[in-house]
Amino acid sequence: MIHSRIVGTGSFLPGEPVTNSDLVARGIDTSDQWIVERTGIHSRHLAADGVSCSELAEAASRRAIEAADVDPASIDLIIVATSTPDYIFPSSAALLQARLEIRNGGAAFDVQAVCSGFVYALTVADKFIRSGSHKRALVVGAEVFSRILDWKDRATCVLFGDGAGAVIVEAAERPGLLASAIHADGAYNPILCVPGSVSGGTVIGDPFLRMDGQAVFKFAVRVLGDVAQEVLTDAGLGTDDVDWLIPHQANIRILQATAKRLGVSMSRVVTTVDQHGNTSAASIPLALDLALRDGRIRAGSKVLLEGVGGGFTWGAVLLDM
């Protein structure tokens, strides 16, 4: 039987950290205390003008390729999870393929599931590999959310940051991805969305991110708890078998409430939201790479990834590293 395993990770954050005080200095009506008390965020990274999603994805991907010690030409599947692509088309995955000079005709496409995007993309890559159609995949979460923020709306603009995380997934005899589940309910779309589009060269509607924070919090905590239990049951394991929980890094209160609902100590939760902010589809792979490189996650660790995002989408993946 064919299984899939993660064999290398990489991440990239653009520029220097932008602190809460830096945002105040830029004229945003807020304070460090207000942001920290409500979100746990101290800083985030913001891409410079002209820096694209595929550029961030390339930097993270090259680090993952180096960590996996593989030939880029052997990658026959590229999936980029993003809500902030370079263009309407072609996909950021195709642009990333060109940046990496991969010319083998392998598949490349984007997945748009907002903050659940990386979980969705990893689940899709696993299906491709287990089917036998592809042998090695590059899965990336990359975002430049700073481009869709209303910097006059302090309730949302202070929450988000830019960045990218990547993993190399390949066919293996021993399972690395033990279970996964992805879900959506489009009826919840109004509570977190960017309700705009482009038509005839003109923006139609609202081009900025809009969010009902309280509604998102309640929904996120419920579905994150449910989907975590779903994949653990599917794998025949319990929460005590999980060494590390890596939730989507949206808000420290959501992380704490999710961990409490699952009965997992915060000492077993990888937390990066304080330094990265909410990087949407990039948040989970960024946290995974950090915890692998600092030695917290080791070979044999059981790691539960879970995400929830606009759509509304949610999902989880259980890994044996």
Catalytic residue status for 115: yes
Catalytic residue status for 248: yes
Q: How confident is the model at residue 58 (pLDDT cuts 50, 70, 90)?
A: very high
The strand pair at 18-19 and 43-44 is best described as: antiparallel
Yes or no: is domain 178-320 CATH 3.40.50.9100? Answer: no
Best CA proximity match to 80, nearest among 100, 299, 189 = 100
Mean pLDDT of the chain: 97
Among residues 45, 134, 248, 276, the one annotated as catalytic is: 248
Q: What is the pTM of this model?
A: 0.98
Using DSSP, state whether 89 is helix, strand or coil.
Answer: coil
Distance of alpha carbon 54 from alpha carbon 99, whole angstroms: 8
**pLDDT one-digit tens code per residue, 174-213:** 999 999 999 999 999 999 999 999 999 999 999 999 999 9
Find the radius of gyration of the CA atoms of the chain.
Answer: 18
Q: What is the pLDDT of residue 164?
A: 99
User: Are 148 and 209 in contact, with CB atoms under 8 Å apart?
Assistant: yes
Distance of alpha carbon 21 from alpha carbon 30, whole angstroms: 9
Contacts of 69 (CB under 8 A, 6+ apart): 8
The boundaries of every CATH 3.40.47.10 domain in the chain are 3-174, 178-320
Q: What is the pLDDT of residue 85?
A: 98
CA distances to 22, 49, 156, 170, 271 from 255, rounded to whole Å, are 25, 31, 18, 30, 8
What is the dotted CATH code of the domain comprising 3-174?
3.40.47.10
Longest dimension (CA), the chain: 58
Q: Where are any strands of DSSP class E within the chain? A: 3-12, 18-19, 43-44, 77-81, 107-111, 136-144, 162-172, 177-184, 192-193, 196-199, 202-205, 210-211, 244-247, 302-309, 313-320
Among residues 115, 157, 193, 276, the one annotated as catalytic is: 115
**pLDDT one-digit tens code per residue, 107-136:** 999 999 999 999 999 999 999 999 999 999
**pLDDT one-digit tens code per residue, 36-54:** 999 999 999 999 999 999 9
pLDDT, average across residues 284-306: 98
Distance of alpha carbon 300 from alpha carbon 320, whole angstroms: 6
Percent share of the chain, pLDDT over 70: 100
